[in-house]
Amino acid sequence: MKAIIPVAGKGVRLRPLTYTQPKPLIPVAGKPIISFIVEQLIELGVDDYVFIIGYLGEKIREYIERTYPELNTTFVTQEDRMGSAHAIWLARDHYADAEELIIFFGDAIIDADLEAFRDSETSCLGVKIVDDPRKFGVVEMDDEGRIRGLIEKPKIPKSNLAMVGCYKIREVSQFIDACAYNLDNNIKSIGEFPLTDALARMLEWGTQFTTLSVDNWFDCGRREILLETNAIFLDREGFATEDPPPFDNSIIIHPVNIGPNCDISNSIVGPYVTLGANTKLEHAIVSDSIIGDYARIHDIVLRNSVVGSDASIGGLRQSLNIGDNTEIDFGG
């Protein structure tokens, strides 16, 4: 079994953060998103990985090779972004001999019974009911619960059962043929070659798929979901910093995850804050936020914020003596 992890996207919905940091490396509760995925797969016994990289891909490669040196990893670059099926097809020489594939998109975190997923006797799709299926690949079922169609981002959905970015493929050679068929015949959806269409081709050719409902799906492509996911995992065992070192004249409101070598003084941190390594806080109040490595935050109140690494944010400190019936607006 081999794992294919496409991580070539630009993460445009998280800009400007993703101008310099690939989305899979953004931290959630002190751990990059991609680490949640890789460590889940390691627990399943997978040690062969193919990463499809593109935008800022060398940062992902450096992180994976440094953090997981024991894994057998291959990196394939997608120069032209033509869709997820195209990205995975580019790496076909590295998995054509595999008995099975597990495909995990590298920008989402899921909670699911992945052992059942791994042990499925058929090819399998991770799914979850969503409010707006128009944004996703959608699974259409017949009255007997069998898959009758797979549609990419339908304008008028006939189902609210979305694919969540994890797939098990048993018919590896047929999967490669399905990707090639759509590419050779220029069969696109939304102007690209999505994985959904390749799977739909396999379904048309007679491949049997089943579904696995995931318990939770955290699609961390938007700031509000990223912060919500950060808070959820900080509430779970093993993610929050339980015994932080003493900081000068500061209050820590748990749960928080504080990276190594942080310098915090005259500040209030928490709840639901992730601080990267070597971050410095002075005269700051920070809650419900994610702060990157080597950031400096001073003289400011931050909430519901995501701040990248090496950023510096400072506010204004005021000393006021205000009389009655006075209105002051510091908003400019």
Distinct helix (H) and strand (E) counts, the chain: 7, 23
pLDDT for 162: 93
The DSSP string of 55-114 is TTHHHHHHHHHHH-TTSEEEEEE-SS---HHHHHHHTGGGTTT-S-EEEE-TTEEEES-H
Q: How far apart are CA 91 and CA 4, in angstroms?
A: 9
Alpha-carbon dihedral angle through residues 233, 238, 240, 241, given to the nearest 10 degrees: -170
Q: How far apart are CA 11 and CA 233, in angstroms?
A: 22
Specify the residue for token string 């940091």.
21
**H helix or E strand, kind and range, residue 49:** strand 48-53
Which of the residues in the chain have pLDDT under 50?
325
Q: How far apart are CA 34 and CA 65, in angstroms?
A: 13
**H helix or E strand, kind and range, residue 224:** helix 223-234
Other C-beta atoms within 10 Å of 248: how many?
10
pLDDT for 17: 67
- Count Cα neighbours of 175 within 13 Å in the Cβ-side half-sphere: 32
Reference 109, options 176, 40, 198; nearest CA is 40
pLDDT for 91: 95
